């Protein structure tokens, strides 16, 4: 049977690994968006702002260990997920609009499949959704949040 100390050590290592995946993914996605000039209009700047905010909150977490930073991080992760879903819609609808200009008779599944493989990578904003879910995973049963809840009870 595994001791509590060994189990807790494993959970800490897992949480650090999830955090590393989040940080590398955030830096990678942010770099890619910058290289693609994904900031021409305000809607394109939203994911860059979210990615920066996520990293800023993690940097703040290094200096302030209270639960408030984790709560703000969770809200930011919700914004990642929602922003990614909205981005999926923007990419897909832009591709549909372009395909309809090129082929006005397209409709239904033909239009959808053309739009999914269109000029804008329709599913690329899903990376923001994934990072948001990874960020939520980092905070799942986080000890700082649990300490705050046990103080309230």
Q: Mean per-residue pLDDT for 133-139?
A: 96
**Which residue has 């990072």 as its token pair?**
131
Q: Mean per-residue pLDDT for 102-118?
A: 92
- Answer whether 47's CB lies under 8 Å from 87's CB: yes
Q: Mean per-residue pLDDT for 43-59?
A: 97
pTM: 0.87
What is the residue extent of each domain of the chain? 10-152
- Helix-, strand-, coil-residue percentages of the chain, each rounded to 5: 80, 0, 20
């Amino acid at each position: 049977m595994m001791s509590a100390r060994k189990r807790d050590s494993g959970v800490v290592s897992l949480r650090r690994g999830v955090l590393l995946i989040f940080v590398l993914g955030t830096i990678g996605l942010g770099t890619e968006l910058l290289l693609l000039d994904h900031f021409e209009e305000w809607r394109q700047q939203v994911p860059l702002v979210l990615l920066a905010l996520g990293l800023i909150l993690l940097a703040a977490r290094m200096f302030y260990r209270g639960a408030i930073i984790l709560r703000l991080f969770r809200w930011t992760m919700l914004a990642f997920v929602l922003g990614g879903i909205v981005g999926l819609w923007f990419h897909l609808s832009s591709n549909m609009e372009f395909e309809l200009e090129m082929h006005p008779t397209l409709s239904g599944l033909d239009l959808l499949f053309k739009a999914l493989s269109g000029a804008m990578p329709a599913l690329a904003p899903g990376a923001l959704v994934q990072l948001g879910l990874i960020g939520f995973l980092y905070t799942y049963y986080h000890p700082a949040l649990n300490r705050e809840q046990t103080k309230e009870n």
